[in-house]
Amino acid sequence: MPDIHARKRDGVPIVMITAYDATFTRLVDACDVDIVLVGDSLGMVMQGRDHTLEVTVDDMIYHARCVRRALRCAHMTVDMPFMSYQVSPEKALENAGRLVKEGGAASVKLEGGARVVPAIEALVAAGIPVMGHLGLTPQSVHAFGGFKVQAREEAEAQRLREEALMLQDAGCFSMVLEGIPAPLATEVSASLSIPTIGIGAGNGCDGQVLVMQDLLGLDDNFKPKFVKRYAELADTVRDAFSEYAREVRSRAFPGKEHTFKAKKRKSKDAGLRPVDEPEAGPSSGSDEPRRRGYGPA
Ligand SMILES: Nc1nc(=O)c2c([nH]1)NC[C@@H]1CN(c3ccc(C(=O)N[C@@H](CCC(=O)O)C(=O)O)cc3)CN21
Ligand SMILES: CC(C)C(=O)C(=O)O
Ligand SMILES: [Mg+2]
């Protein structure tokens, strides 16, 4: 956490990426990313829901543990899911404690301004670092009437400026600014001593975050304005699956190099088949369907 603070002082933007499993976390962790966020966006990306509201603390712990096991360098922040911190500061502390103890979180993130200040204070008092989250807070999707850019009107922008200061005063070590006009995000970032991490909030934040599947281009149907695709993996993955299916159907896969041999036989019929002949199936490189058979060659 102190290192993350130092980034703002030194003017080095903070890099945050979401992750939900061990395989991708290993890849992220090898790439000098500062923070891995186990986001409640997993409700959409992993669970296929339309929003994040049904994600549970147990879901968050499950994915946090998957990520934790693969993580060596980066700081791991875990989202507090909807209704795990709204009821009371006591409930919030209990649930944040589970994310730390069972999930291995180094810090937790929760959405909202003034109304979550008591919860943030309880967590910070217990030694749990808290990241705030303002603007297009996805857990308020129904209140917003969709995932819509927030604080475009001056009254709302003023409210956000005030709430950013409240979160800082409550002890947040950083905060996400999501889906707000860039000039507002830049201004808020300059007004705070803690770093802001933007998503759809322009280039004036102290860091950026993207959902991993978005930046990898894994979902053709999700292309909001704020996402930049650094790869088009959906195409690559589909090509690989299709090629695999073709090769299975043509018996080109598995080839000789993917196939196990039996141990050398000592019995007198050992000579019936050369020992380097595959035990079963066709050899590689042939597109021709081959006759099945396990008998002597
Ligand atoms: N894959 C993924 N990426 C995310 O960034 C993300 C999730 N899932 N799930 C949780 C929330 C939901 N988020 C979203 C989802 C959609 C828009 C969207 O369609 N935005 C419109 C702006 C609409 C408007 O203000 O008129 C856009 O074009 O950016 C934005 C944020 C961000 N989070
Ligand atoms: C997009 C980030 C900020 C998030 O909260 C999530 O992935 O759940
Ligand atoms: Mg989230």
CATH of domain 2-215: 3.20.20.60
Residues paired with residue 14 on neighbouring β-strands, in sequence order:
207
pLDDT-wise least confident of 100-114, 162-176, 271-285: 271-285
CA distance 39 to 106: 14
- Return the best residue to mutate from 20, 21, 24, 37 for the ligand 2 pocket (most ligand atoms within 8 A of CB): 37
Domain ranges of the chain: 2-215, 259-297
CA distance 110 to 99: 12
Q: Considering the candidates 153, 156, 162, 178, report the single residue annotated as catalytic.
A: 178
Mean of per-residue pLDDT scores for the chain:
92
- Residue 178 known to be catalytic: yes
Confidence class of residue 270 from pLDDT cuts 50, 70 and 90? low
Residue 51 has phi, psi (to 5 degrees) of -155, -175
CA distance 132 to 168: 8
Confidence class of residue 274 from pLDDT cuts 50, 70 and 90? low
Q: How many CA atoms lie within 13 A of 267 on its CB side?
A: 4
Q: Model's pTM, two decimal places?
A: 0.89
- Of 236, 205, 233, nearest to 219 by C-alpha is 233
On whether 79 is known to bind a ligand per the annotation, the reply is yes
Helix (H, G, I), strand (E, B) or coil at 15: strand
ipTM of the complex: 0.96
* 214 Cβ below 6 A of ligand 1: yes
CA of 155 to the centre of ligand 2 (A): 25
Confidence class of residue 31 from pLDDT cuts 50, 70 and 90? confident
CA distance 47 to 55: 9
Number of H helices, E strands in the chain: 11, 8
CA distance 91 to 104: 19
Q: With beta carbons less than 8 A apart as the criterion, state whether 79 and 138 touch.
A: no
Q: Above pLDDT 70, what percent of the chain? A: 90
